[in-house]
Amino acid sequence: MILAVDIGGSSTKMGLVEDGRVISRARISTTGHADEHVFVDAIAGTARLMTDGSGAGLDSIGIGAPNANQLSGVIEMAPNLPWKHDVPLAKMVSERLGAPATLGNDANAAALGELRYGAGRGYQDLLVVTLGTGVGSGLIVNGHLVLGSAGNAGELGHTTLVMDGRRCTCGRAGCLEAYVSIRGIRETYADLGGDADVLRTEGVKAIADAARGGEKAARFAFQWTADWLAVALANAVAMTGPGRVVLFGGITRSGDLLMEPLLARFDKVLLNIHKGRVDVVLSALEEDDAALLGAAALTTFRS
């Protein structure tokens, strides 16, 4: 039995995975803990509750998190998590629960989940892009996850899209994430003179609703977001040549509002030699399970 943990900017999902299925689920808050030790206590306590109070029966633990370095087991200076310093989370959780733990980038976990169970099945070269609080990516080349020399490859969200552009949480300017994350879309909508009432709600659902209702600022916000994302995806394809790009994460719930302009623009900006050789699709996995299955897949993965 594998304990799968998916750490997000606001909440952390947990699940027990057996034979490639999620058999039980829990959720704790990522924020609001005094420090990372208290947070790990909460993970361990919840895991014990999920396993009849003992924590026994756990073979291994897979943890997906933003800015996680799979080679070192450390979460490194994550701009979207409460801890701005390096946190050796794999070791901390493993010690609390007495089972080996593998920490991996949440986007790498998603890529492994899609490769094994989802829209990436059968592909040797695959790019999975997560669109949510942050923007991440996991890259499969020749059937293997690309970790990079220091374990931190796949940072599509922090490639520069616009030189001297918008400030990003990473401290730099013009990153893709500053444009196509939840915050990015909200900023675009605000820049376009969007409705203040819509912006009072969190996330991008209200903007999507406004767009479906025909509001111009909201429609343009999705159009612009799609244009930016299309260029970034075409760039990643030019470098790495995947046969498929899978989009994953909260923003993809916007569906055709994002996908229609995205596919049109992607086809336009793609280099000639890649046309017809790569497609862009939405994740085919149940949203909650995908991240957990990906985290579970981390435990057995070798690059």
Question: Taking CB under 8 A as the rule, does residue 259 contact a second copy?
Answer: no
Alpha carbon distance 219, 294 (integer Å): 33
Least distance (Å) between residue 246 CB and a second copy: 14
Question: Taking CB under 8 A as the rule, does residue 188 contact a second copy?
Answer: no
Token representation of residue 291:
């991240």
Least distance (Å) between residue 204 CB and a second copy: 22
Question: Taking CB under 8 A as the rule, does residue 147 contact a second copy?
Answer: yes
Q: Are 47 and 39 in contact (CB under 8 A)?
A: no
When binding is defined by CB under 8 A, the residue of 1, 82, 100, 152 that contacts a second copy is 152
Closer Cβ to a second copy, 26 or 173, answer by number: 173
- Three-state SS for 82-104 is CCCCCECHHHHHHHHHCCCEEEE
Alpha carbon distance 23, 4 (integer Å): 11
State whether residue 75 is helix, strand or coil. strand
Closer Cβ to a second copy, 221 or 234, answer by number: 234
Question: Taking CB under 8 A as the rule, does residue 123 contact a second copy?
Answer: yes
Token representation of residue 182:
């939840």
Stretch that binds a second copy, among 38-46, 142-150, 196-204, 254-262 (CB under 8 A): 142-150
Q: Are 44 and 93 in contact (CB under 8 A)?
A: yes
Alpha carbon distance 2, 150 (integer Å): 26
Closer Cβ to a second copy, 22 or 237, answer by number: 237
Token representation of residue 33:
């803990």
Tell which residue, 274, 265, 184, 211, has the closest CA to residue 237: 274
Packed helices 216-240 and 182-191: angle between N→C axes, nearest 10 degrees: 130
When binding is defined by CB under 8 A, the residue of 64, 118, 134, 151 that contacts a second copy is 151
When binding is defined by CB under 8 A, the residue of 166, 243, 263, 282 that contacts a second copy is 243
Where would I find the H helices in the chain?
36-50, 89-97, 106-117, 177-180, 182-191, 196-200, 205-212, 216-240, 256-269, 287-298
When binding is defined by CB under 8 A, the residue of 26, 141, 263, 281 that contacts a second copy is 141
When binding is defined by CB under 8 A, the residue of 46, 51, 169, 235 that contacts a second copy is 235
Least distance (Å) between residue 172 CB and a second copy: 7
In the window 45-104, what residues touch a second copy (CB under 8 A)? 67, 69, 76-77
Question: Taking CB under 8 A as the rule, does residue 234 contact a second copy?
Answer: yes
Tell which residue, 58, 149, 132, 55, has the closest CA to residue 291: 132
Closer Cβ to a second copy, 171 or 214, answer by number: 171
Stretch that binds a second copy, among 1-9, 23-31, 252-260, 267-275 (CB under 8 A): 267-275
Question: Taking CB under 8 A as the rule, does residue 155 contact a second copy?
Answer: yes
Which residues lie near a second copy (CB under 8 A)? Answer: 67, 69, 76-77, 123-125, 137, 139, 141-142, 144, 146-156, 158-163, 170-172, 231, 234-236, 238-243, 269, 271-274, 277-278, 303
